[in-house]
Amino acid sequence: MKQSYTIRHGALDGVEVFLAVARHRSFRRAAAELAVTPSAVSQAVRALEARIGAALFARTTRSVGLTEAGQRFLDRAGPAFEEIMAAGEVARDVGQRPTGLLRLSVPRAVVPLILEPMIASFCRTYPEIELEIAASDEMVDLAAGGFDAGIRLGQFIAPDMIAVRLTPPFSFVVVGSPD
C-alpha cells in the first residue's frame, strides 16, 4: 500500500533574509545586500514570522530591532545557517574534483595487462582518490559487492551494465608443438 507523505515546504524560507536584516538592523540595507527590493525583504520576514508564530523584529519608522523571540531565533539560526552554507561549499568542492574511495572488481588476468601500466599515472592525476582493487576470477555482482566499477572481458558484460572499452579488441593465440 502506497503511503502519502507531505514534504514540508519552506522550512528555511526567509532565514537568510532574516539574518541579513538582523545583521544590518535595516530592511533597506538587507535588500541591497541580497539584491532584492525592500518590499521583498519585508514580505519574506512577514512570512517567516507567520510560520514561526512570533514577531522577530520590533519595527518603527526609524529603526529595526530584534524582539526577544528574534534574538533567540538569531542565536540558534545564525550558526545553523552558517553550517548549512559550509556544508554546501564542501559538497560543491567534492563535486568538482574526484575524491574518496574507488572500489574496482577485476579479473586477475587484467591486472598485469591493463591496470599495472595505468595505476601510477592514475594516482598522480587523482591524488585524492583511494583505489581499492579486488582481483578475483569469480564473477562478482558489482552492486551487491559494493563496487563502484569493474573490468570485465567482453563476453561477460551483463546487459544492464554501462560498458566503456578500455583497450582495442585483441585475441589470444595458443601455440604448441605436436608433442
State the residue for C-alpha cell 519585508.
42
CATH of 15-95, one of 3.40.50.920, 3.40.50.2300, 3.40.190.100, 1.10.10.10: 1.10.10.10
User: What pTM value is reported for the model?
Assistant: 0.53
Q: Where would I find the H helices in the chain? A: 15-24, 27-34, 38-52, 68-96, 110, 116-125
The domain segmentation of the chain, as residue ranges, is 15-95, 98-179
- In angstroms, the CA 23 to CA 19 distance is 6
Helix or strand (DSSP H, E) at 56: none
- pLDDT the model gives residue 7: 46
Return the CATH architecture of domain 98-179: 3-Layer(aba) Sandwich (3.40)
Own/partner pairs, 23-29, CB within 8 angstroms, 24+ separation: 25/63, 25/64, 25/65, 26/64, 27/64
- In angstroms, the CA 145 to CA 105 distance is 9
Q: Name the residue among 62, 61, 67, 33 with its Cα closest to residue 48.
A: 67
Amino acid (one-letter) located at 179: D
Q: What is the mean pLDDT of each run of 10 residues along the chain (179 residues)?
A: 53 89 95 93 94 94 92 95 91 80 91 87 90 89 88 74 77 78
